[in-house]
Amino acid sequence: MLNKNKEILTAKETELEKLNETVKAQAAELRDEYERTKLLLDATPLACRLMKKVEHGRFELFDCNKESAILFGFRDKQEFMERYFETYPEYQPDGKYSIEEGQRLFEKAYTEGRSVSNFHFQIPDGTPIPCEVTLVRVKYGNDFVVAGYTRDLREHNKMMEEIERRDILLSAANQASGMLLRSEMADFTDDLHACMGMLADTVGVDRISIWKNFVENDQLHYYNQVFEWAGGTGFPEDDVTHNSVKEPRCYDLIVPTWEEILSRGECINRRINDMPPYERPHFTKQGIKSVFVSPVFIENQFWGFVGYDNYHQERDFTENEQMIMNSTGIMIANALLRNEMMQKLQFANQAKSDFLAKMSHEMRTPLNAIIGLSALALEDETVNEETRLNIEKVSNAGDILLSTVNDILDLSKIEAGKLELVPVRYDMPSLLNDTVTQSVMHIGEKPIEFILDIDETLPALLFGDDLRIKQLFNNLLSNAFKYTKEGTVELGVRCEREGAETVWMTAWVKDTGVGIKPEKLASLFDEFMQADKHINRHVVGTGLGLSITKKMAELMGGGITVESDYGKGSTFTVRLKQGFVTDAHIGSDVVDNLKSFKYSEHKRRRDAKYVRPKLPYARVLVVDDNVTNLDVARGLMKPYNMKQVDCVTGGQDAIDAVREEKIMYNAILMDHMMPEMDGIEATRRIRDIGTEYAKNIPIIACTANAIAGNEQMFLDNGFQAFISKPLEIGRLDDIIKRWVRGKEQEKHHDEQRDFTEENHANEALRRIFDNAVIPGLDVQSGIDRFDGDAESYLNVLRSYANNIEPSLKKIETVDRDRLSEYTIIVHGIKGSSRSICAEPTGDLAEKLERASEAGDYDFVMKNNEAFVKLTQALSIDILNLISEIDAANQKPHRDRPDKEVLIKLLIACGTYHMDVVYAAVRELERYTYEFDGDLVPWLSENVEQFNIDDVVERVTLYVSENEG
């Protein structure tokens, strides 16, 4: 029994030893697992802690890892656990109590198993620590505990703030860039100021300035401010508005190191206190605490820099901020350059437009006289045939020159792709005749036969832009004659009806000229293109003709083609879409006349039968600063037998006449370009008078400034119609019939008077003029200018001689600061001298006018004295001629002008009874006077110029001074 018990005990001991070994192994494993877990927790970058639920539902921290102590700045875990609740600020950012919010989140995790939230802790010194807290319920023994994992968000938030700041700055930069790209030139300064303010607010600086480098003595070294935004006040400078307010600065004197740094493409990001002592004073005296400077490179050249200044605090900009600010600076500098280039371009365009407008006016004004006076002369049935043919040649030459002027001054042709069509109903034979008349002059002495192949079934009338068609035909014919030395040039025209409203016109120009090489045909219609410059080197031309022809043909819905055999000739064919008007054909007689070049004579005979209505009730006021244009207008309106055609030389006179309403005019013909006040301003002031008469009187723009698009401009500015110079009889007739003729007045007008005017001087006057020789004065051309009316020419000479001396006295001395006044005076002398055909005086006056306009004081001083002496000598010669004429006329002699006639003149002026006024002046002109002889010529001139108030004033004074 004892042995058995001993065996049992031994077995138990063996089992116990095994169990003990197992326990030891398990304990060692647990210790190892604990160590691994502890190591894992302590090595994690997250703060980890364990919390358990205690009485009253509160929680208690009972373990943590080392990171928890490190995160909150405690010595070790024990201190962290003892002072854990010191990491809780009193309130969270949303205003909740931190302890209550922590309890709520613990309860949520304990109940639901998990809670994730942002929670603000603090370190012992009160510095807040934003964190992300994840709470997880875990099994611990027989109960649950909550494991908390805390991630420090400070770096994350800083990164997110930087990203957000970068996005905001990028958005502001993009918005500023878009604003500047869309900015109109007139708003650019305001837009740039707004953009810089936006960027300053976004990046947090007090001032942004833009500086541009400039070279002196072939070296950089200098920079100048061109724009500044400073706390809401911006001011542009010379590169933007040519109004400099800052002095240029030298890199070496202000910031010696900057030129080298910036020219390498590096930015400067500095606190002022960290700057070298020799650079610091310039900034400290302005109160600047830190700067960021971004270089600007344009086309790989160091253009300048943009500076960002802080006055209130020191500032270091991040890399993202530096990159965006650098790009923004380049964008702003480019915007400044773009605006500067746009200003220069606008100035150039305006200068071009002003030049074209002035040239249009200057060239069309003499053309108005040439074409208008020629038309008047051709209406005179007493003119012999040889003279008529010469006048027709002058008229045709004027038309050709006008066509050339139109080509040169056509803005819609110069501005690419902006050709405008002005469709009208036009006469097909007239179009062909004008084309033929102009084209035959290109033949010259060449042995060329001009052939017309015109279909007699061509429509007599079509609807389209006849001026463009003539320009198109003339371009093709001009080229044909240029490049053809001998042989033939043929113009053919056919028309084909299509539908109820359309006619297709096909025209071809065929020549036996040099032809075109096949490889050149593709580029033939390019601008400034000549097909063979070697062969055609003696041919004058810009190479624009065919390009313009192609554009015009396409604009008319058609096109142009060419066939050529090099060395033998070419054929150009155009096809144009026109509007249908009538079934009537031009007929064989017209075709025969065109082919024999006699259509002009046929047309003249037809126009000679043209009957104009008599308008003895009509009163018209003509406003033009050029006396010759007034003469042309009066002459063209003679056939209408109007009651009154009054002329004034300035807009103010027209305004006064309308305001006073002493004469109720049927219409006003208003010139555009006049000194002191132009026609548009005069018309605006007339409309502003406000009376029904002023608001409704028809005002017709009559100007030599006939550039494309001007008609609408005049209609938009208070005019009823537009007529271009030179005045064309048909167009003027349309204007008169529509705006001057009054049907009601015709019904109540009982008598139709036949007016006659004295147009010719006596034989003695003609003989004196024929023999007159005055240096610098073409007397015969002067008489011709006045349509052979020697007496009218004599009156103009009197006016010139009597009135030139006061003008000359004003320019005897020239003041550099008053060149603008000098310009106006010599401009007037130029016009009056040319009106009497004193061309040398007029030419020198023009040179002085242009020099004074350009500010060339030296040229004016060098030539003014000679000009004054030349003009004075001319005036003396004219006065001597007038004395000779007056003596030869042998007028009756009186002591003084008749006072009764003067009183009659005075009364007539008061009532604006112009027939009596003119009769009184003619009565006074019948005599010569021993005393006060200058009064009558003065009265004649001022009545002619419709200066009635001046006449009344002088006659009243004269009568009162000569009582008894």
pLDDT at position 751 is 39
- The residue among 614, 576, 573, 548 whose CA lies nearest residue 426 is 576
Q: Is 962 helix (H, G, I), strand (E, B) or coil?
A: coil
Q: Which of 12-16, 222-226, 555-559, 816-820 has the lowest mean pLDDT?
A: 12-16
User: What is the tens place of the pLDDT at every residue in 742-763?
Assistant: 766 665 554 333 333 343 344 5
C-alpha torsion angle, residues 908, 912, 918, 923 (rounded to 10): 10
pLDDT interval class at 595 (50, 70, 90)? confident
Burial class of residue 579 (count of CB atoms within 10 Å of its CB; 0-12, 13-18, 19+):
middle
How far is the C-alpha of 175 from the C-alpha of 584, rounded, in Å? 66
Six-digit token string for 237: 């400078």
Q: Tally Cβ neighbours within 10 Å of residue 806.
A: 9
Does residue 191 carry a pLDDT above 50?
Answer: yes
Q: What is the pTM assigned to this prediction?
A: 0.37
Residue type, 518: P
Q: How far is CA 782 from the centre of its chain?
A: 41
User: What is the tens place of the pLDDT at every residue in 628-656?
Assistant: 677 767 877 877 888 888 888 889 999 99
Six-digit token string for 65: 């890892």
Half-sphere exposure (CA, 13 Å, Cβ side) for 651? 20
How far is the C-alpha of 111 from the C-alpha of 108, rounded, in Å? 5
User: What is the tens place of the pLDDT at every residue in 707-733?
Assistant: 444 566 788 888 988 887 667 766 788
Half-sphere exposure (CA, 13 Å, Cβ side) for 794? 24
As a whole number, mean pLDDT of residues 867-895 equals 81
User: What is the tens place of the pLDDT at every residue in 778-823?
Assistant: 887 777 655 566 776 777 787 778 778 888 888 888 888 888 788 8
Q: Tally Cβ neighbours within 10 Å of residue 915.
A: 11
Strands in 428-499 per DSSP E: 448-454, 461-464, 487-498
pLDDT interval class at 602 (50, 70, 90)? very low
Burial class of residue 121 (count of CB atoms within 10 Å of its CB; 0-12, 13-18, 19+):
buried
How far is the C-alpha of 939 from the C-alpha of 46, rounded, in Å? 112
pLDDT at position 640 is 83
- The residue among 51, 81, 59 whose CA lies nearest residue 69 is 81
Does residue 499 carry a pLDDT above 60?
Answer: yes
More confident residue, 22 or 466: 466
Strands in 374-525 per DSSP E: 424-427, 448-454, 461-464, 487-498, 502-511
CB 419 within 8 A of CB 412: yes
| H or E, element range at 321 | helix 319-378
How far is the C-alpha of 516 from the C-alpha of 534, rounded, in Å? 12
Number of H helices, E strands in the chain: 35, 26
CB 895 within 8 A of CB 961: no
| Unique residue bearing structure tokens 């089992």 | 15
Q: Which of 337-341, 753-757, 859-863, 900-904 has the lowest mean pLDDT?
A: 753-757
CB 633 within 8 A of CB 727: yes
Which residues have a Cβ under 8 Å from the Cβ of 521 and sit 6 or more positions away? 562, 564
| Mean pLDDT score of the chain | 77
User: What is the tens place of the pLDDT at every residue in 404-433?
Assistant: 666 555 544 444 445 567 787 888 887 887
How far is the C-alpha of 344 from the C-alpha of 592, rounded, in Å? 56
CB 664 within 8 A of CB 693: yes
Q: Which of 524-538, 556-570, 581-595, 846-860 has the lowest mean pLDDT?
A: 524-538
pLDDT at position 244 is 36
The rounded percent of the chain whose pLDDT value lies above 70 is: 77
CB 697 within 8 A of CB 665: yes
pLDDT interval class at 169 (50, 70, 90)? confident
Strands in 342-445 per DSSP E: 424-427
More confident residue, 76 or 6: 76
CB 558 within 8 A of CB 576: yes
